[in-house]
Amino acid sequence: MQSAPFVLIDLGYPNLLMIKKMKRGDLDYQISDQGISFFKWKDNRSVHFLSNYHGNDTCKVQRRLKDGTKIDVTAPIVVKDYNGHMGGIDKADMVRAIYDRDRKSKKWWHRLFLLC
């Protein structure tokens, strides 16, 4: 049985720099007609962001090397906002994971109430 050939369909993704050509701190972005910004930033690995709020502004963020020294790396402002506000999301996920909705109960209708 032969497999079908792989065909890359153009879904409107932006054409950005290849990962191999980017060095740490490099940024490439494209802004669509609808105002959606697509960022590709190279840290240790390639990081992608979509935003309809942030422009193409950059800032400096501190990153650690393997030996523990800190360096300043150029990054889009969306990285700084994400790092500053991700603590609330992590806390909400932690609290949600602690509470188990599927506890054993003789009153089966309690589970229906909790799921709604």
Q: Does 4 map to a domain?
A: no
d(CA 9, CA 4): 14
Q: Does 53 map to a domain?
A: yes
pLDDT on residue 10 = 44
Segment among 4-8, 52-56, 87-91, 107-111 with least mean pLDDT: 4-8
Average confidence score pLDDT of the chain:
76
Percent of the chain with pLDDT over 70: 66
Q: Does 60 map to a domain?
A: yes
Q: Does 10 map to a domain?
A: no
Q: Does 88 map to a domain?
A: yes
CA angle 32, 85, 14 (to 5 degrees): 20
| Domain with 103 in it | 15-115
Residue 57 in this model has a pLDDT that exceeds 70: yes
Contact partners, residue 101, CB within 8 Å, separation at least 6: 111, 114, 115
pLDDT digits 0-9 by tens, 22-33: 888 888 888 888
Q: What is the b/e burial string over 49-63, where b = at least 16 CB atoms within 10 angstroms of the residue's CB?
A: bebeebeeebeebee
**Residue scoring higher pLDDT (52 or 9):** 52
Residue 11 in this model has a pLDDT that exceeds 60: no
Question: Could you give the number of structural domains in the chain?
Answer: 1
Q: Does 8 map to a domain?
A: no
